[in-house]
Amino acid sequence: MELPISLNPENRGLRQVLGDLEADIMECMWSLGSASVREVHECLATERDIAYTTVMTVMSRLADKGMLSRRQDGRAYIYAPVQSRDDFCTGVVTTVMRGLFGSVRAPVLAHFVENLSEDDQTELDALAAMIEQKRKERGSSSPSASV
């Protein structure tokens, strides 16, 4: 699922691509798995004072955007995330990279690797392992193979 992405770099985390309430609702949904509006309202009510109807409206909009699925259960709807949190974040990164750089990803990836600090040895090792795995999957072990 490719979403139209609007970045707000002043915010952190999901709030860079979702509004505050959308991000909070999605976090509840990823935590709960599937839930009614009432259950999400209860999840949010522990952190903020919010109207049930506001939660219902935003969840309906998230369903219209394709981020939540919904099915009717009696008089209520049961919602579920269409993607896991990790898959959503991966999709956002992919969309941003395609939009900013098209098919020229090498400079961006090089910048990313160069900016890993010495404290990030674990992440660097994980990236190296991922690269090696991709090379094996593609049947090439040469360093010039594209990732």
Full pLDDT tens readout for the chain, 147 residues: 555 566 666 767 777 778 889 999 999 999 999 999 999 999 999 889 999 999 999 999 999 999 999 999 999 999 999 999 999 888 887 777 777 676 666 777 777 777 776 667 888 888 888 888 888 888 865 555 444
Q: Is 12 helix (H, G, I), strand (E, B) or coil?
A: coil
Give the residue among 11, 25, 38 at the shortest CA–CA distance from 88: 25
Instruction: Using the structure block, give the residue that is written with the tokens 């990236």.
Output: 127
Q: Which CATH architecture has domain 1-102?
A: Orthogonal Bundle (1.10)
Q: How far is CA 53 from CA 28, 60, 62, 68, in A?
A: 17, 10, 14, 17
- Find the length of the chain: 147
In tens, the pLDDT along 58-84 reads: 999 999 999 999 999 999 999 999 999
Return d(Cα 61, Cα 8) in angstroms, integer: 20
Instruction: Using the structure block, give the residue that is written with the tokens 């707000």.
Output: 8
Query: Model pTM greater than 0.75?
Result: no
Whether the Cβ atoms of residue 56 and residue 97 lie closer than 8 Å to each other: no
- Residue 139 φ/ψ, nearest 5 degrees: 75, 25
Strand partners, 35: 79
H/E stretch holding 131 reads helix 121-137
Residue 146's pLDDT is 47
Which residues, at least 6 apart from 28, have a Cβ–Cβ distance to it below 8 Å?
A: 35, 40, 43, 44
Residue 93's pLDDT is 78
CA 79 vs. chain centroid, Å, equals 17
